[in-house]
Structure 1
Amino acid sequence: MGLLSKGSPLNWEETKKYADHVRKHGIVQFLNIYNKVKERQKDVLLWGDEVEYMLIEMDEKNGKVRLVLNGGEVLETLQDKGEKTNPNHPTLWRPEYGSYMIEGTPGQPYGGTMSEFNTVEDNMGKRRREASSVLNKNETLATITSFPRLGCPGFTQPEYKPTPVEKGVSKSLFFPDEAINRHPRFSTLTRNIRHRRGEKVVINVPIFKDKCTPSPFVEKFPEDDGEAARAALPDHIYMDAMGFGMGNCCLQVTFQACSIEEARYLYDQLATFCPIMMALSAASPFYRGYVSDIDCRWGVISASVDDRTGEERGLEPLKTNKFRILKSRYDSIDSYLSSCGDRYNDIDLTIDEEINKQLLDAGIDKLLAQHIAHLFIRDPLSLFEEKIYLDDENESDHFENLQSTNWQTMRFKPPPPNSDIGWRVEFRPMEVQLTDFENSAFVVFIVLLTRVILSYKLDFLIPLSKVDENMKVAQKRNAVQEGMFYFRKDIYKGCNPALDGSSSAAQNGLDSEGDNEYTLMSIDTIINGKEGIFQGLIPILNCYLENMEVDVDTRCTILNYLKLIKRRASGELMTMAKWMREFVDKHPQYKQDSVITDRINYDLLRKCDSITKGEERCPELIGDPVNRGK
């Protein structure tokens, strides 16, 4: 969850006074890092995954499941038993936004050898067993993207009531402050986003209109002071707090590249896969006790941290703010970084011109300068009194303050000061899956894809505006089966990555082709191929594997993972979102009114828990475990 400083957090008015100071010194810190490591080459290709978990309690007697708000204690216990005892412990644990959440990663990054793919699921299993071992009776560890009844009365253990009219950080009608991680960063972010925006965040998710869903679907909120009534849209599920987005779980992968040029190239290429992988991993169809008409959390989390004022959103003329800002700070990327991507940067990019000039004058190239100058149009949201005045030569907190609160589909990560860590990129759009097998399959697929992109010098770039359109399609209900996505037709032709960073490669005689470079494809076509349209990613990966020296066991593991991705893409297996919808639809207590009762929620998560633990098979979601080679 980004930078976790310790100290005394400042409120928004105090933070605002230091916004220019943070930006000014953040740029100096970035330049210091860049100048020290810009020529760095031959870093090892390392990578690692991050899995976020929810702590839940199964109350069999009352047929209820609740989120357990003891993530802080669980985290401390896990760290005491793990990394604090043994620096080489195979797992690492970190806090997340919800006080019912924790994040687990491998203790050390994975390396560049193919055999590493055979250890991912084993490490995820270690994490799950470790965390489960310190839970209380009736508690379990869940890898679900969104808790179906998040924000419903009594959804936490212990139970707390929201405080919309009293002093608090979110003032939510539904989400109590106690469900927020106790580290001051998280409550400060929550409060300062609300204060900066000038009102509570507004999240409206279209409700799924079932046979008995009221039409129009309109809610009344007893404790509303009028704000919710103004903000809530008819036929939508209304939510009003950061926790409804940041309180969801996801699956992320970070890669260390060999050089800054390679990192920029990977950043661009992987950006085109963000919508595709999000749709494939779709796992969040339910919000605040209702069945929604979307399958992914992205738009929810984007709205949940949208701190833009009315002026910045274009609702009123600019007077006190500097910029009209087109997106939330949690959204898809706004510019490619490699020379290959330059000609595909076709969306409006708001930048701080002064910062951009400062970077250009300091020798930063146009593409990287505008990327940083775009990130720095934002204000810092969380600042600690003890962290205002820093040593810019050896610290990067001010840079990270803004870098880590621009939550985009991809993140380009410079090395920390004075470390042996290289240039990295983070792949951020995927939803978390029920089982370690599924999560490993998604991780291995995207890592293997990076190896193939680098080895074959592939080019998947399309205009960034088309990637944005794909992002909208990817979140729709059953996008895997019904959505059509813009995708490049010929990935072997075009801009040779030219990892020397020469700008001439960007103009490789391709401009005349224009729209003919890409077309609309189904996810089945993109993943599995269709004759005459696209050869498919799985066949390309299989070809790569055939040319690599891979031991039999590892090859079997990888092929099982690819088989899962292949069958999800073809519709032979369901996405998690579709499977959850079908479970609810068939539940005897479901009244076809889009309402998820406590009992439905309990039975659904009890089933999820049994599948996660391997107590029940779920061939429609995972396939036949007998063929997994595990």
Structure 2
Amino acid sequence: MRASVRRVIAKQHMTKNETPITMTSFPRLGVPGAFTQPYYPPHGPIARSIFVPDEIINQHIRFPTLTANIRSRRGSKVCINLPVFYDEKTPNPFKDPTVQYDLSDYPEDGDVRNGAAKDGHVYMDAMGFGMGSCCLQITFQAKNISEARTLYDQLCPLGPIMLALSAASPIFKGYLTDIDCRWNIISGAVDDRTEEERGLKPLNENKYVIPKSRYDSVSTYISQDPGYRPEYNDVDIHQNLPLKQKLLDGGMDEPLAKHFAHLFIRDPLVIFSESINNYSVENNDNFENIQSTNWQHMRFKPPPSAEDAIGWRVEFRSMEVQLTDFENAAFSIFIVLLTRTILSYGLNFYIPISKVTENMETAHRRDAVLSEKFYFRKQVFPPRYANRSGKSSNASPGGSTSNTPKPVELGPVEDEYCLMTVNEIMNGQAGQDGFPGLITLIESYLNSVNVDVETRCELARYLDLIRKRSNGTWETAATWIRNFVHSHPDYEKDSCVNATVNYDLVKAAETLGNGEGKGTNLWKGLFEKR
């Protein structure tokens, strides 16, 4: 491995003490004292945060406005509490020592006096803690709207699995936490729901009690694929019914109208006056204002305009960014290959949407990739496919059938899925009737298309990383970071990641990102078995 051209170019535009790194979260963002250069004091008028200064916010007017409007609409600062990781010398009960209870510059300073900071948790209070995180998102171009809807639905159950597999953020605000992923931090960081919408007060000024933040997992499937069953959309969701009726009257089908009507229960967070004063049906800025501030783990993206060459797209949004370009390439290519396999074989990954939500919570747990199980579909082939390899008794994938398959009688939805480990989902279950594993399916697809030997060998390296991360041979970035901290001589086993440990961790990330460190302890765990 070597540093990518992008890293080299980025470094050329930086000072000597700056370097491009790909860490999901900066471990000491928000600690007391200096964590930026130059130093700025926290508690500015926009975020009003106890921990982070307003100067870390992108100065384009959109972003300070987003920050202030989320706080204003919510009626308080955002409230994020992460369970602390209890080590040998961690105070128990743990009370976040960085919280200042005596501030009175803004009305929101009373949040912590009213119980915002929970015992046993690391408390954070600003949008910057979430939007200061980094991730690996992939957008796919579909050939038409139907294919885009298929990919949206079929990739949806994979979101939590890939979140757990790419876990890379165990440290927040200078403390080891008992979670491995960033997703819920961002969810809390942009949660603009009022007390009424969160169900804390009876509805009076608001229309709905909304179960989720506007940054959360998908709440409804949208495809009309033959494999879809209404039972999969097993969660009642609020919808903007007047808008939905307009969409239906205009010719949109029920599943897609439901999807957009659900997005449009939210208020816009930022409105530019020119978008209102110069409104045109040819311009979709006002649509994107709502669409782009519903941050779900999948995003269905219509063409920017009727005349635009860009077509229907789907964005896969759950994965965490990795320490090296090789890892980021491996995860990206894995998802790309999976989309080709889904479309080629007509695979069906549907499970009830409530189980996807449950899986997202499971994915956050420490070392979930090895210690937890996830709901996943047992039989993913359409009825004509009979065995684990993807071959059919009466057809090969993409081929013609020798006879027409008989209609399949559907049993209870609950019989279609079960709990599986990430290893079983990726590498397969034992036995002829066990789930074959996503990697097996991808390799079957690659066997069916013309791929030159050199490319196939390169793809094998990427798939091998996914395989070994899934079975525990290689560690997730989150586990590697934990092990780095635990083995550091200046770590005092009190859950606190001090400045020295943090500096050495970031330097290690720099070394790995530059494609260096092979043969050293830095490679142990991440690319070599410990």
TM-score, normalisation: structure 2 = 0.90
1:565 match:
466
1:400 and 1:594 mapped to 2: Cα distance?
42
Structure 1 pair 246–495 and aligned structure 2 pair: CA distance change class (3 A): farther
1:44 match:
none
Match among 619, 623, 629 for residue 523 of structure 2: 619
Match among 334, 341, 345 for residue 452 of structure 1: 341
**How big is each residue's C-alpha offset from its partner over 1:229-282, in whole Å with a ceiling of 9 and x where there is no partner?**
320010000000000001000010000101101100100000010000000000
Please say if 1:362 is aligned against 2:250.
yes
Are the counterparts in 2 of residues 410 and 426 from structure 1 also a CA contact under 8 Å?
Answer: yes
Shift of 1:619: 3.4
1:145 and 1:621 mapped to 2: Cα distance?
18
Shift of 1:511: 4.1
**How big is each residue's C-alpha offset from its partner over 1:590-630, in whole Å with a ceiling of 9 and x where there is no partner?**
111100000010011111111111221243344269xxxxx
2:488 match:
587
Aligned-partner residue type, residue 613 of structure 1 = N
Please say if 1:466 is aligned against 2:370.
no
1:375 match:
263
2:139 match:
254
Please say if 1:190 is aligned against 2:67.
yes
**How big is each residue's C-alpha offset from its partner over 1:326-373, in whole Å with a ceiling of 9 and x where there is no partner?**
100000001000124452100121111111111111111110001000
SS at match of 2:492: coil
Are the counterparts in 2 of residues 494 and 510 from structure 1 also a CA contact under 8 Å?
Answer: no
**How big is each residue's C-alpha offset from its partner over 1:201-249, in whole Å with a ceiling of 9 and x where there is no partner?**
0000000011111111113533544312320010000000000001000
**How big is each residue's C-alpha offset from its partner over 1:302-345, in whole Å with a ceiling of 9 and x where there is no partner?**
00000000000111111111111110000000100012445210
Match among 412, 423, 445 for residue 513 of structure 1: 412
Please say if 1:228 is aligned against 2:134.
no
1:485 and 1:620 mapped to 2: Cα distance?
28
2:394 match:
none
Aligned-partner residue type, residue 382 of structure 2 = K
SS at match of 1:238: strand
SS at match of 1:574: coil
1:211 and 1:448 mapped to 2: Cα distance?
44
1:530 and 1:509 mapped to 2: Cα distance?
24
**How big is each residue's C-alpha offset from its partner over 1:485-527, in whole Å with a ceiling of 9 and x where there is no partner?**
000011003699xxxxxxxxxxx75542321111100000000
Aligned-partner residue type, residue 129 of structure 1 = V
Match among 19, 40, 46 for residue 169 of structure 1: 46
1:143 match:
22
Are the counterparts in 2 of residues 342 and 367 from structure 1 also a CA contact under 8 Å?
Answer: no
1:73 match:
none
Are the counterparts in 2 of residues 459 and 494 from structure 1 also a CA contact under 8 Å?
Answer: no
Aligned-partner residue type, residue 280 of structure 2 = D
SS at match of 1:378: coil
Structure 1 pair 510–203 and aligned structure 2 pair: CA distance change class (3 A): farther
Match among 416, 423, 439 for residue 524 of structure 1: 423
Match among 203, 213, 217 for residue 94 of structure 2: 217
Are the counterparts in 1 of residues 334 and 463 from structure 2 also a CA contact under 8 Å?
Answer: yes
2:309 match:
420
Please say if 1:390 is aligned against 2:294.
no
Match among 480, 493, 503 for residue 369 of structure 2: 480
1:409 match:
297
Aligned-partner residue type, residue 603 of structure 1 = D
2:479 match:
578
Are the counterparts in 2 of residues 249 and 432 from structure 1 also a CA contact under 8 Å?
Answer: yes
Are the counterparts in 1 of residues 476 and 526 from structure 2 also a CA contact under 8 Å?
Answer: no
Structure 1 pair 538–620 and aligned structure 2 pair: CA distance change class (3 A): farther
1:495 and 1:331 mapped to 2: Cα distance?
36
SS at match of 1:237: strand
Structure 1 pair 342–309 and aligned structure 2 pair: CA distance change class (3 A): farther
Aligned-partner residue type, residue 429 of structure 2 = K
1:128 and 1:495 mapped to 2: Cα distance?
48
Are the counterparts in 1 of residues 346 and 382 from structure 2 also a CA contact under 8 Å?
Answer: no
1:293 and 1:155 mapped to 2: Cα distance?
23
Are the counterparts in 2 of residues 244 and 304 from structure 1 also a CA contact under 8 Å?
Answer: yes
1:268 and 1:494 mapped to 2: Cα distance?
19
Shift of 1:291: 0.4
Question: Equivalent pairs: percent with the same residue?
Answer: 53
Shift of 1:455: 0.4
SS at match of 1:278: helix
SS at match of 1:603: helix
Aligned-partner residue type, residue 131 of structure 2 = M
1:579 and 1:318 mapped to 2: Cα distance?
46
1:276 match:
161
Are the counterparts in 2 of residues 408 and 428 from structure 1 also a CA contact under 8 Å?
Answer: yes
2:528 and 2:487 mapped to 1: Cα distance?
22
Aligned-partner residue type, residue 447 of structure 1 = V
Are the counterparts in 2 of residues 568 and 574 from structure 1 also a CA contact under 8 Å?
Answer: yes
Please say if 1:134 is aligned against 2:13.
yes
Aligned-partner residue type, residue 388 of structure 1 = I
Shift of 1:428: 0.2
> Aligned residues, how many?
490
1:608 and 1:374 mapped to 2: Cα distance?
40
1:342 and 1:181 mapped to 2: Cα distance?
44
1:179 and 1:398 mapped to 2: Cα distance?
27
Aligned-partner residue type, residue 547 of structure 1 = S
Structure 1 pair 518–510 and aligned structure 2 pair: CA distance change class (3 A): farther
Aligned-partner residue type, residue 236 of structure 1 = H
2:278 and 2:119 mapped to 1: Cα distance?
49
1:509 and 1:157 mapped to 2: Cα distance?
64
SS at match of 2:140: strand
2:449 match:
548
Please say if 1:429 is aligned against 2:318.
yes
2:395 match:
none
TM-score, normalisation: structure 1 = 0.76
Are the counterparts in 2 of residues 442 and 565 from structure 1 also a CA contact under 8 Å?
Answer: yes
2:218 match:
333
**1:27-38 to 2 correspondences below 5 Å:** none
**How big is each residue's C-alpha offset from its partner over 1:144-198, in whole Å with a ceiling of 9 and x where there is no partner?**
001100101211111101125xxx2100000101001111111110000000000
**1:487-498 to 2 correspondences below 5 Å:** 487-493=376-382
Aligned-partner residue type, residue 217 of structure 1 = F
Shift of 1:398: 0.3
Are the counterparts in 1 of residues 517 and 523 from structure 2 also a CA contact under 8 Å?
Answer: no
Aligned-partner residue type, residue 19 of structure 2 = T
